[in-house]
Structure 1
């Protein structure tokens, strides 16, 4: 498999399968997990979350509804601007995020066992560079 695109597609499918398997223990889909991970750094406006995830606003509303129903996130009106919603992770959401991060770290450690820390960092940088040049795709 000399074609880089084919290698990425092949390894992407393998990674997706392993990540989904790890996520199943938390009951989250990849989109739910990405949403929680984006909220792990602290409260953000719903609009900022939409921009961070790079998905359609209606998709984010649906994701937040699911996460809110499971008491993993909370939405509230911004006191400074009642038109804006602030989204924050709950204590239960933070615990779920911790379990999620541990499960994903285990999968990554298994998948990248043959790479040094420097090579993992380089791979991450290269993938980020590829993503930045194709930011118009909705893949989340």
Structure 2
């Protein structure tokens, strides 16, 4: 027989992630974007993922879902897609001036949200939390374990 003396950490973590994700999405929506739009903008802006397939992997969504977001963002004038001259089967994704402006606005939103999230938490506590998050991901065989520098580079 299996007994739990305390709430499972996985459930607590999942609930916390859901609450924080919803609050961040709400903040992004209030400033003209959304969490998926922000994820695409930051990935394109970083120029690490110019091709759609790489972009889908970096954002962590299926290709068809990414295509839906890209279609909407292109229709809104936030980005352009064009064939890669070196490989016509691939599309290059680039931000337009409107996309750049939205990126800057949402970056400020993300910074303010991060500041709010850190309220009352010391740097030592944050470092410890990141260490625990890394261990939790490793315990479930999670890939893409992010370093502190990588996380900070996203902002």
| Superposition TM-score, scaled by structure 1 size | 0.81
Q: Which has the larger radius of gyration?
A: 2
CA distance, structure 1, for counterparts of residue 67 and residue 17 of structure 2: 27
* Superposed displacement of residue 25, structure 1: 2.2
Confirm or deny: 8 A CA contact 2:24 2:113 kept in the other structure: yes
**SS across alignment from 2:64:** helix
Partner of 1:105: 111
Partner of 2:66: 60
**Cα root mean square deviation, aligned:** 2.3
**SS across alignment from 2:57:** helix
Confirm or deny: 8 A CA contact 2:32 2:102 kept in the other structure: no
Which consecutive residues of structure 1, in runs of 5 or more, have no partner in the other structure?
Answer: 136-140
Size of the aligned set, in residue pairs, is: 135
**SS across alignment from 1:35:** helix
Partner of 2:8: 3
CA distance, structure 1, for counterparts of residue 9 and residue 80 of structure 2: 41
Partner of 1:91: 97
Verify: 1:16 aligned to 2:13, yes or no: no
Q: 1:48 to 1:103 in 2, by over 3 A?
A: same
CA distance, structure 1, for counterparts of residue 12 and residue 112 of structure 2: 22
**SS across alignment from 2:82:** strand
Partner of 2:121: 115
Partner of 1:134: 142
- Residues 72-93 of structure 1 show CA distances to partners (whole Å, capped at 9, x for unaligned) of 1110111111111001122211
Which consecutive residues of structure 2, in runs of 5 or more, have no partner in the other structure?
Answer: 1-5, 144-155
| Superposition TM-score, scaled by structure 2 size | 0.74
Q: 1:110 to 1:54 in 2, by over 3 A?
A: closer
Verify: 1:29 aligned to 2:34, yes or no: yes
CA distance, structure 1, for counterparts of residue 42 and residue 135 of structure 2: 20
